[in-house]
Amino acid sequence: MKNIINIQAIYVLWLREMKRYLRAKSRIVGSLGMPFFFLLFLGTGFKNFRPGTVPPDVDYLNFVAPGILAIVLQMGSMMTGIAILWDRQFGFLKEIMVAPVSRISIVLGRTAGGMTTALFQGFLFIGVAFFVGLRIESITGVIVALCFMVLIACSFVNLGLAISSLMRDMQGFSLVMNFIMVPIFLLSGALFPVEQFPVWVRVLSYIDPLFYGVDGLRYGLIGVSKFPLWLDFSMLLLFCAFMVGLGAYLFSKVDVD
Amino acid sequence: MHAIETRGLTKKFDALTAVKQVDLQVAQGEIFGLLGPNGAGKTTFIKMLSTLSEPTEGDARVWGHDIRREKDAVRHDIGMVFQDPAVDDRLTGRENLDFHARMYGMKKTDRISRIGEVLDLVGLTDKAGELLRNYSGGMKRRLEIARGLMHFPRVLFLDEPTLGLDPQTRYHIWEYIKGLNAQEQVTIVLTTHYMEEADELCSRIGIIDYGSILVIDTPEALKNTLGNDLLTVKAADLDALQQAFGNESWVLEVNRFDSSLVLSVQQGEEKVPLAVNTAQKHGVTLTSVSVRKPTLDDVFLHYTGKSIREEDVSEKDQIRGRMRMHGSGRR
């Protein structure tokens, strides 16, 4: 067991991620730009828009903030995939792979690092949203939201890991971003309730794992959700477990060359 | 026990056999050099020994550990310096070393003292706190060599350690390599396509071409096998000259180059007048004659039938062609 789960290696992989992240100040600020402007302009622009089932005392800014938080987590987590492709391009992946460390430990270290940066960005966003006008309902709600944040980050870090394991360079990654990530976030109901969609699109929404993430975050932060909490939680947990398995499997097959 | 021992080690990529039936023994404490043109299979060979690539056939032991069944043990006992840089340039020199040390499970006190030692060994103590993006190419290379030594490996692999470096930096790296072989008693296996590098550093050299090792010996013994002096003659009509010398009994071997012929002879100085006479007899005027001792380049020519320098370009193109055919970037 000690050989498979190497705590020191996991720790140093995480530590490296932290150092790189904290040194890239422009990345931290840059990653907040898009969600901040989304929140500010959508929130004020649609101020009097009361989407579907949402109670009248919840304004659009409060409706959309949990959705944008989910996008921040999703995009932030996918950066792990890009980081691996960078490592491959600059040869550092070989330095990691030639060390006497199991692939599982490498996956765990990567996941820990990617989740931490994504969650950090999530918290920064909550801070900004709070400043712009997000009302937080209760402490238990925040704890619920935190659980969903962790699950979303874990799922998408491993999705990034899985995709980057199948790729040799950066070229294909923008394709993935645009054709996988954008539909996932538009179908998730982050920006508007999915009741607005025709039935066949709504079906796609219900198989979109991020839909349950957004719904759970809404429950936590503004106390409103479409589905019961247990359903959101189990669906997301299922997806997360599947992604962890897939990410670890595909990464273990990676050819170093 | 040998530091490295391979039996019939072979690696195939689809139709291309990159390494063919290599039998090799490297003694402890040696600096062993694999000399061959680009695409000869040197990197593939090292990748197999370092467990990064699975052999198609054959066996190998590194410091007594089987490279197929005892991967982690092999990884513990080897240090790697890859052909292309493999550093994190957003970390400082010290942080790169610390990352490595922790990946290899070193304890804190060992880490700190060892980082100091290896930095000192490659002369980078002053630069340890700088981000690697500010390092020059030569400094990065030295740091990679230091990193390869961090965890007290038994065998250090250096894949083209001075590729792309200027002559002065190359000379310094040679000094560091010799120094660490002496001070750390680490066995070194390096690949190179620079004759001078193999000649200067290695206690033994294996000449590799098209995936096969053609000969293994000390640089001196390799040069002595030719046993002869070399006469380089130039003239306008090389065809006639080649034929003329081919029929002379004192000429042991004739090799044709673009603008000259190289003749293997005994007692070279005495053969200069003979060469002039022979040329005159066939109505050819020599423009120059020179005598020299064989170099590793001549040894390489002798065993492979081509010069490594002219081979360099054509071999690269050939490999590129082969790579395109197989649609992958492996070497």
CATH number for the domain harbouring residue B275: 3.30.70.100
Q: What one-character-per-residue DSSP string does B218-287 give?
A: -HHHHHHHH-SEEEEEEES-HHHHHHHHHT-TT--EEEE-SS-EEEEESSHHHHHHHHHHHHHHTT--EE
Minimum distance, in Å, between the CA of residue A241 and any CA atom of chain B: 27
**pLDDT computed for residue B327 by the predictor:** 40
Statement to judge: residues B127 and B79 lie in one domain: yes
Subunit contact A99:B103, Cβ cutoff 8 A: yes
Minimum distance, in Å, between the CA of residue B215 and any CA atom of chain A: 29
**pLDDT computed for residue B314 by the predictor:** 47
Calculate the CA A244 to chain-centre distance.
13
Inside any domain, residue B253:
yes
A16, A23, A98 ranked by CB distance to B50: nearest: A98
Inside any domain, residue A74:
yes
Residue B324 has pLDDT above 70, yes or no: no
Residue A91 contacts B, CB cutoff 8 Å: yes
Inside any domain, residue A73:
yes
Subunit contact A257:B52, Cβ cutoff 8 A: yes
- HEC assignment per residue over B156-222: EEEECCCCCCCHHHHHHHHHHHHHHHHHHCCEEEEEECCHHHHHHHCCEEEEEECCEEEEEECHHHH
Subunit contact A91:B47, Cβ cutoff 8 A: no
* Under 8 Å between Cβ of A128 and A31: no
Statement to judge: residues B122 and B164 lie in one domain: yes
Q: Please tell me which residue, A146 or A59, carries the higher pLDDT value.
A: A146
Minimum distance, in Å, between the CA of residue A76 and any CA atom of chain B: 19
**pLDDT computed for residue B10 by the predictor:** 94
Q: Which chain B positions have a beta carbon within 8 Å of A256's beta carbon?
A: 52-53
Subunit contact B90:A20, Cβ cutoff 8 A: yes
Subunit contact B105:A6, Cβ cutoff 8 A: yes
Tally the domains of chain B: 2
Instruction: Tell me the pLDDT of chain B averaged across its residues.
Output: 87
Inside any domain, residue B185:
yes
Subunit contact A23:B85, Cβ cutoff 8 A: no
CA B103/CA A51 separation, integer angstroms: 52
Last residue of a domain, one of B223, B255, B284: B223
A9, A92, A168 ranked by CB distance to B102: nearest: A9
Statement to judge: residues B97 and B176 lie in one domain: yes
**pLDDT computed for residue A53 by the predictor:** 66
**pLDDT computed for residue B307 by the predictor:** 65
**Among A108-117, A190-199, B73-82, B155-164, which is the least confidently predicted range?**
A190-199
B75, B84, B91 ranked by CB distance to A98: nearest: B75
Inside any domain, residue B77:
yes
Subunit contact B80:A24, Cβ cutoff 8 A: no
Residue B322 has pLDDT above 60, yes or no: no
Q: How confident is the model over A105-116, as a mean pLDDT?
A: 95
Most A CBs within 10 Å: which of B51, B76, B99, B150, as the mutation test of the A interface? B99
Inside any domain, residue B92:
yes
End-to-end CA distance of chain B: 30
CATH of the domain at B133: 3.40.50.300
Residue B56 has pLDDT above 90, yes or no: yes
Q: What percent of chain B has pLDDT over 90?
A: 49
Residue B326 has pLDDT above 50, yes or no: no
B52, B90, B329 ranked by CB distance to A23: nearest: B90
Q: How confident is the model over B203-226, as a mean pLDDT?
A: 90
Which residue(s) pair with B34 in the sheet?
B191, B206
Inside any domain, residue A257:
no
Statement to judge: residues B54 and B192 lie in one domain: yes
From the list B209, B213, B251, the residue with the least C-alpha distance to B233 is: B251
Q: How confident is the model over A150-159, as a mean pLDDT?
A: 96
State the angle between helix axes of A229-252 and A103-132 in degrees (0 to 180), rounded to the nearest 10. Answer: 140
Contacts of A238 (CB under 8 A, 6+ apart): none
Inside any domain, residue A25:
yes
Statement to judge: residues B238 and B120 lie in one domain: no
DSSP designation for A27: H
Inside any domain, residue A11:
yes
Inside any domain, residue B263:
yes
From the list A161, A190, A186, the residue with the least C-alpha distance to A68 is: A190
Statement to judge: residues B218 and B268 lie in one domain: no
User: Using one digit for the tens of pLDDT, what is the confidence trace for B95-130?
Assistant: 999 999 999 999 999 999 999 999 988 889 999 999
**pLDDT computed for residue A222 by the predictor:** 87
User: Using one digit for the tens of pLDDT, what is the confidence trace for B122-180?
Assistant: 889 999 999 999 999 889 999 999 999 999 999 999 999 988 788 888 888 898 899 88
The band of B256, judged by pLDDT with boundaries at 50, 70 and 90, is confident
User: Using one digit for the tens of pLDDT, what is the confidence trace for A72-86?
Assistant: 999 999 888 888 888
Q: Which domain holds residue A144?
A: 7-252
Q: Which domain holds residue B288?
A: 228-293
Inside any domain, residue B307:
no
Statement to judge: residues B168 and B273 lie in one domain: no
Statement to judge: residues B155 and B253 lie in one domain: no
